[in-house]
Amino acid sequence: MSTVLVTGASRGIGAATARALSETHDLVLVGRDTDALHAVARDCRSARVVTADLTAAGTEPTAANTAGPADSDGAHGPALAAAGIERLDGLIHCAGVAELGRIADSGAGQWRRAYDINVVAVVELTRILLPALRAAEGHVVVVNSGAGYTAKPDWGSYAASKFALRAFTDVLRQEEPGLRVTSVHPGRVDTDMQRAIVAHEGRTYDPETFLAPGSVATAIRQALDATPDAHPTEIVLRPRPR
């Protein structure tokens, strides 16, 4: 049974992805909300929970930092999330953050948060896990965004981080030819983050107008299930008009 690590697994696309893969993969679920991670793990056949802040780069793991479905921890860092993994068939990056605001109103802190979570954490965890991914000729899947192609007013820091994330996947694909690297670009998805965005926009939230997290999870699963001769490099999803 192949092993897949999913970040941002406590909710939204990450949780939906974990559930979509639960019957066919051993999972490592990474996130910051221990209780929510365990709730997802209970829906999975085989899932190990790791509570970690992936923006805490450089933190070294300890024996108390990792946990099975019945235990939890309060640990930090990409090194923690990768602890004890010698072979990894799939690494799925679902964690992310979106803060809206016009450039004139967006301070350096907002831009740093966008890059720390959406880019640096992804790069660092991938870097640490490269030996395990190479051993399995594994697959890296990065959940990007439509904003990774098009920048719009109020979305400056988020779009810039997603453009950078797309550059990372393009480079990784060329530098690591033994791996498959897929960049997934969904449109708006019905998640807690989307609710906050719509509230910022001053609009009424209608989940029917957005993609379901499970729809993105299905696309991720299909990418992982691609035949060995196929390399799904980019997947673009948009909500169908209703």
Residue 81 is given by DSSP the state: H
Stretches in the chain below the pLDDT threshold 70:
57-76
What's the pTM?
Answer: 0.88
pLDDT at 63: 30
pLDDT, tens digit (0-9, with 9 covering 90-100), for 169-192: 999 999 999 999 999 999 888 877
Four-residue CA torsion sign, 215, 216, 220, 226: positive
- The CATH H-level (homologous superfamily) assignment of domain 2-237 is NAD(P)-binding Rossmann-like Domain (3.40.50.720)
> Quick check: 65 and 83 in contact, CB under 8 A?
yes
Four-residue CA torsion sign, 120, 124, 125, 129: positive
Joined together, the tokens standing for residue 86 give: 């010698």
